[in-house]
Amino acid sequence: MVGLSRILAIIVLLALAPAVAVAKSEHRTQRVTFKDGRAMIKGRIKGYQYVDYMFPAGAGESLKADLKTNNNASYFNLLASGQTEAAFFIGSVSGDSYEGVAPASGDYTARIYLMRSAARRGEAAKYTLTITLGEKSAANETGPDYADGLIGGPDYWEVTGVSTHDTLSLRKDPSRRGALVAQFVNGTVLRNLGCKNARGQRWCRIERPDDPSLRGWVNGRYLRASSGPR
């Protein structure tokens, strides 16, 4: 009896495994890359598939999103930082475009999906999602992820994730067009003076602990919290 029970359990697990794999394949997350505050994303979904496009925005920053699709049953929702289901914009109710301001600072999600009836029929949709940020600048950032070391943020950052033989640029202003001040390699420890989102990029104001005259803005994508100079 014990041997038969084990065999039956194995059969059940093998039967469920493909279903789990399919469920995971129906959802993927992709971080959006912006150029001068604008991103255009093209893709395709079928059935119950849906895609979460993630991007940073600052509280009060202008946010526009527009969906073009060849299937009228395809929509997008917008979710603020920390939300998983309760969207502040629901495409199937409000249409194929949104224009307003980001209600809070953090990572936002634009979720592309098909209505359940269309998904059940195995329909597909090709789409182009356009997101525009920063025509109106964000207000001052608040919260531990955007604070300096005095009001809840980490005291120090460490440069990480920069490509081999490349460096992280320190700029005078929070923009890739800002004047270049210095360059840092992976492992460099920097003092946190506060961060903010600007046109689809998270920028952090920093200074070198051993040389406070080296102060400016770096792309927050390449920073992680650090315990301080070693």
Amino acid at 50: Y
Lowest mean pLDDT among 36-40, 50-54, 174-178: 174-178
- CATH 2.60.120.380 matches 28-133: yes
Lowest mean pLDDT among 42-51, 79-88, 143-152, 165-174: 143-152
- Same CATH topology for 28-133 and 156-226: the answer is no
Structure tokens at 81: 């930082």
Q: Rounded distance, CA 91 to CA 112, Å?
A: 9
Q: Which residue has the higher pLDDT, 77 or 196?
A: 77
Q: Is the pLDDT of residue 21 over 70?
A: no
* Rg (alpha carbons) of the chain, rounded to whole number: 22
**% of the chain with per-residue pLDDT over 70:** 83
Three-state secondary structure along 162-177?
Answer: CCCCCCEEEECCCCCC
Q: Rounded distance, CA 165 to CA 22, Å?
A: 39
Amino acid at 136: K
Structure tokens at 180: 């270049």
Q: Rounded distance, CA 91 to CA 71, Å?
A: 13
Residue with tokens 């929702």: 77
b/e code 51-64 from CB counts within 10 Å (16+ = b): bbbebbbbbbbbbe
**Bridge partners of 68?**
128
Lowest mean pLDDT among 107-111, 140-144, 191-195: 140-144
> How confident is the model at residue 7, as a pLDDT?
52
Cβ distance 216 to 181 under 8 Å?
yes
pLDDT tens for 148-160 read 655 557 889 999 9
Q: What is the DSSP track for 10-74?
A: HHHHHHHHHHHHHHHHTEEEEE---BTTEEEEEEEEETT-EEEEEEEE-TT-EEEEEEEES-TTE
**Bridge partners of 122?**
none
- CATH 2.30.30.40 matches 156-226: yes
Q: Rounded distance, CA 66 to CA 40, Å?
A: 10
Which of 101, 104, 114 shows the shortest CA–CA distance to 44?
114
Q: Rounded distance, CA 204 to CA 229, Å?
A: 18
Domains of the chain by residue range: 28-133, 156-226
